[in-house]
Amino acid sequence: MTETAIRSRDNPIFKRLKKLAESSRARREARMTLLDGEHLLAAYLAAGGTPHTLVRAESCDAARLAAVADCRQAKTVVVPDALFAELAPVATPTGVLAEAAWLTPQAPVDLALVVVLEDIQDPGNLGAMLRTAAAAGATLAVLSKGCHDAWSPKALRGGQGAQFVLPMQLAADPGSWLRDFSGTSVALAPEAAHDLYTLDYTGPTALVVGNEGAGLSAATLAAATTRARIPMPGRVESLNASAALAVAVFEALRQRGVRR
Amino acid sequence: MTETAIRSRDNPIFKRLKKLAESSRARREARMTLLDGEHLLAAYLAAGGTPHTLVRAESCDAARLAAVADCRQAKTVVVPDALFAELAPVATPTGVLAEAAWLTPQAPVDLALVVVLEDIQDPGNLGAMLRTAAAAGATLAVLSKGCHDAWSPKALRGGQGAQFVLPMQLAADPGSWLRDFSGTSVALAPEAAHDLYTLDYTGPTALVVGNEGAGLSAATLAAATTRARIPMPGRVESLNASAALAVAVFEALRQRGVRR
């Protein structure tokens, strides 16, 4: 493994990496992102991905990178810690980054279990929701245009590798997607007449969750075949969007008798 | 409502507020915190709390504070925007803060449903977990010493008012609490033999969730009466701690037939 040292902000590779760190547009145009840390890199490799460039902070031991298997073909660049910090999404950088292409995992042939996410704006929330969907074996995540970028470094951190294994349809129009869906679509809404547990999720199902504050738009609510609320007996009247999605997705699995 | 203008960082009120913003020890010793924004302030008032001091950023219209009911007795201070920003927990401050005493809500007399949280370190996660417990009508949250401060401005933001209505036992030792608990305690652990849905939560129940990365300590696992895993058929092997808690808590409610 040969390493290239980058010394300056004017280096073209550094400029390219910095754009990927900061701009969702740059990520979208290149269909690339930056993976932060060995854990995400290992998940990417496990999912069959091949990183394009590995980035090591100068103070980070080269052996740490070498320990991650199968990366020998990737080009490695070493950057001074101050420059590395400009690329890393967290205050205490791990010292290891990878420039990597988006993966497009195949949809499982299982019975459809789709999550439709409208305008989820917090990267941590979005990442957690994708992680929940991936853990549940969801067949697809449909993300509206107003969602935070699913491939941003912060969303990747929240997703813990979910983006590498979960088929996603990005920048979608939830209303038209729901109108084309032939299964049952259930919009989670606090004012719904049905309670979550009275509905049947054993057929092809899409679960629809809206923005953290505003909930679902009228257009999306109208396009879903039914609405459900999660019964909340407590003195706080709503759940975090990510918690609500988890409750609904795992109720669907429970009804399907999934026991893995 | 008369207002006092603060002009300097040396003002004793400002110094006191700044300590509450920054130090969990200061909050613990005074049993006070800072509430950020009208939403939290309204939730605090609705729960029966009386704020001690209201803080308004100079650029924030005084009418916004006046619109929050029943605050006329509280002292109001006005601070320059630059000083206000030092007190606010978010990058884009709301312009309204309240210095407020911790509330100690009474435990409902309902059938016990306790959440035991060990070393939850992310304030957003902790807040979301308290919000889930409050929405579910949990009777108590037991927080280990290693948990993030439940009364920090960031945890309050994630909790959306949960801290005002949910009885909490702070800085607890989960192992000894569990040994004293006479109901069933279920530790969520990925390697558990039982699947979540095969257990009975219709009696007094404590649900036990561990640290985001490390999970539960051996001592806490040993103190719980049983262990359960959430079946995950997907290609990602774990849920966010907050999502896992939501799935378990709402499974307990479902079994109890709670339909409010």
Same-domain pairing of A10 and A131: no
- Interface residue of A236, A249, A253 to substitute, partner B, most B CBs within 10 Å: A236
Average pLDDT over residues A23-43: 94
- Partner residue facing B134 (CB), from A128, A131, A236: A236
Instruction: Return the minimum-mean-pLDDT range out of A10-14, A87-91, A93-97.
Output: A87-91
Same-domain pairing of B64 and B185: no
Q: Model confidence at A170, in pLDDT bands (50, 70, 90)?
A: very high
Same-domain pairing of B120 and B249: yes
Cβ distance B238 to A135 less than 8 Å, yes or no, reads yes
- Partner residue facing B131 (CB), from A236, A246, A259: A236
What's residue A9's pLDDT?
Answer: 94
What's residue A236's pLDDT?
Answer: 87
Which residues in chain A have Cβ-Cβ distances shorter than 8 Å to B160? 236, 238
**Residue B65 pLDDT exceeds 80:** no
Tokens at residue A189, please? 């809404």
Boundary-marking domain end, from A101, A128, A157: A101
Cβ distance A242 to B242 less than 8 Å, yes or no, reads yes
Cβ distance A231 to B247 less than 8 Å, yes or no, reads no
Same-domain pairing of A56 and A128: no
In a domain, A107, yes or no: no
In a domain, B145, yes or no: yes
| Interface ipTM | 0.90
In a domain, B76, yes or no: yes
**Of B136, B127, B121, the residue nearest B207 (C-alpha):** B136
The CA distances from residue B69 to A221, B7, B52, B56, in Å, are 33, 27, 14, 15
For the stretch B22-45, pLDDT in tens is 999 999 999 999 999 988 999 999
In a domain, B106, yes or no: no
Cβ distance B236 to A197 less than 8 Å, yes or no, reads no
**Residue A35 pLDDT exceeds 80:** yes
Same-domain pairing of B184 and B69: no
**Residue A82 pLDDT exceeds 80:** yes
- Interface residue of A106, A235, A238, A251 to substitute, partner B, most B CBs within 10 Å: A235
What's residue B182's pLDDT?
Answer: 95
Cβ distance A244 to B246 less than 8 Å, yes or no, reads yes
In a domain, A38, yes or no: yes
- Domains of chain B: total: 2
CB contact set of A167 (below 8 Å; sequence gap of 6+): A104, A105, A106, A107, A139, A140, A141
What's residue A189's pLDDT?
Answer: 96
A93 backbone φψ class: left, alpha, beta (φ>0; ψ -120 to 50): beta
In a domain, A171, yes or no: yes
Same-domain pairing of A85 and A161: no
Q: Is A180 exposed, middle or buried (0-12, 13-18, 19+ CB in 10 A)?
A: exposed
For the stretch B91-108, pLDDT in tens is 777 899 999 999 999 877
CB atoms within 10 A of CB A59: 10
Average pLDDT over residues A227-243: 92
Q: Model confidence at B70, in pLDDT bands (50, 70, 90)?
A: low
Report the C-alpha gap between A195 and A92 in whole angstroms. Answer: 44
**Of A225, A218, A217, the residue nearest A194 (C-alpha):** A225
- Partner residue facing A137 (CB), from B136, B233, B246: B233
Q: Model confidence at B110, in pLDDT bands (50, 70, 90)?
A: confident
What's residue B63's pLDDT?
Answer: 78
Please, are residues B87 and B34 in contact by the beta-carbon 8 Å criterion?
Answer: yes
- Partner residue facing A259 (CB), from B131, B231, B242: B231
Same-domain pairing of A175 and A232: yes
Report the C-alpha gap between A112 and A202 in whole angstroms. Answer: 10
**Bridge partners, residue A208, by sequence:** A116, A187
Same-domain pairing of B18 and B53: yes
A123-135 helix and A241-256 helix, angle to the nearest 10 degrees: 10
What's residue A71's pLDDT?
Answer: 58
Which residues in chain A have Cβ-Cβ distances shorter than 8 Å to B245? 243
Q: What is the CATH number of the domain that holds B70?
A: 3.30.1330.30
**Residue B203 pLDDT exceeds 80:** yes
Cβ distance B236 to A134 less than 8 Å, yes or no, reads yes
CB contact set of A229 (below 8 Å; sequence gap of 6+): A188, A189, A190, A191, A192, A194, A195, A196
Q: What is the CATH number of the domain that holds A198?
A: 3.40.1280.10
Average pLDDT over residues A131-148: 97
In a domain, A230, yes or no: yes
- Partner residue facing A250 (CB), from B124, B136, B230: B230
**In terms of residue numbers, what domain contains A137?**
113-256
SS3 content of chain A, % helix, strand, coil (to 5): 35, 20, 40
What's residue B230's pLDDT?
Answer: 96
Cβ distance B260 to A197 less than 8 Å, yes or no, reads no
Same-domain pairing of B168 and B242: yes
What's residue B71's pLDDT?
Answer: 58
Average pLDDT over residues B136-153: 96
For the stretch B147-183, pLDDT in tens is 999 999 999 999 999 999 999 999 999 999 999 999 9
**Residue B90 pLDDT exceeds 80:** no
For the stretch B221-250, pLDDT in tens is 999 999 999 999 998 888 999 999 999 999
Report the C-alpha gap between A171 and A173 in whole angstroms. Answer: 7
Instruction: Return the minimum-mean-pLDDT range out of A40-49, A107-116, A120-129, B217-226.
Output: A107-116
Average pLDDT over residues B202-229: 96
Same-domain pairing of A177 and A49: no
**Of A230, A222, A223, the residue nearest A252 (C-alpha):** A230
Which residues in chain B have Cβ-Cβ distances shorter than 8 Å to A135? 232, 234, 236-239
> How high does pLDDT run on average in chain B?
92
Report the C-alpha gap between A208 and A187 in whole angstroms. Answer: 5
Q: Closest approach of chain B CAs to the CA of A146, in angstroms?
A: 20
What's residue B91's pLDDT?
Answer: 73
**Of A260, A253, A243, the residue nearest A120 (C-alpha):** A243
Cβ distance B246 to A239 less than 8 Å, yes or no, reads yes
